[in-house]
Structure 1
């Protein structure tokens, strides 16, 4: 994957990127019963493709993504309804991000640093990218 913006093409302006990293959540996701019972920390990193020109011109929060509200919505989405797989949680997060029509695409990295693996490791992380129009593809 390149660092070039997603969603650019003929006649479309380059998308700016808004990053929110290190959103810490406590949730009960996992395949094992003890994961659902005891819970664990999950960490979310977001990169969103947005066009910030209207907000830059108006200096008005209504013309951009409110990252404070979005962070709380993402945290709530992670912390509700336990599921087995981080893939399911990552999709849930992308869906929340794409609810705002100003978000053209969302790159979600979901970290599960305390995954039950019997080995020394630093992190388990899944990264997905969803664009408007293919959020569930």
Structure 2
């Protein structure tokens, strides 16, 4: 774990976005690329929201509506083969605001082409803000 954030430390504030549903054209199979399917994204951002709460100012936090739009644009955008690749693109977007110390993104592919009965397939990535060089 990076020294950027200690989840047991004093700043355990989080913004959570769950169940963002977006149609995308990701997958290895040609039919997945052509027809597309629904992807579900969950994102958790760790940041200190004390200043935002004290000032009641949305510019001092991460605007979850803008976050949802940015993530949706990535899912609906350029196709990739793997949801691992998609998850990395999404977590990178979550870490763009300088206030965000850590981000966790899960990409669910509930209609994955698996010939068995299943509830969900998901890839989750967790990344800390890179240390300044």
TM-score normalized with structure 2 length? 0.91
**Do residues 60 (structure 1) and 47 (structure 2) align?**
no
- Which residue of 2 is the match for residue 70 of structure 1? 67
- Which residue of 2 is the match for residue 111 of structure 1? 108
> What residue ranges of structure 1 are gaps of 5+ in the alignment?
1-5
> Which structure 2 residues correspond to residues 1-137 of structure 1 after superposition, within 5 A?
7-8=5-6, 13-133=10-130
SS in 1 for 2:15: strand
CA distance in 1, matches of 2:94, 2:80: 19
The CA deviation at 1:9 is 7.6
**Structure 1 runs of 4+ with >4 Å offset:** none
Cα–Cα, structure 1 residues 22 and 9, in superposed 2: closer, same or farther, change >3 Å? closer
CA distance in 2, matches of 1:9, 1:41: 32
- C-alpha deviations, 1:43-83, integer Å up to 9, x for none? 00011101010001000011110010010000001111101
TM-score normalized with structure 1 length? 0.89
SS in 1 for 2:96: coil
- Determine which structure has greater relative contact order: mean sequence separation of CA pairs < 8 Å that are 6+ residues apart, divided by chain length: 2
> What residue ranges of structure 2 are gaps of 5+ in the alignment?
none
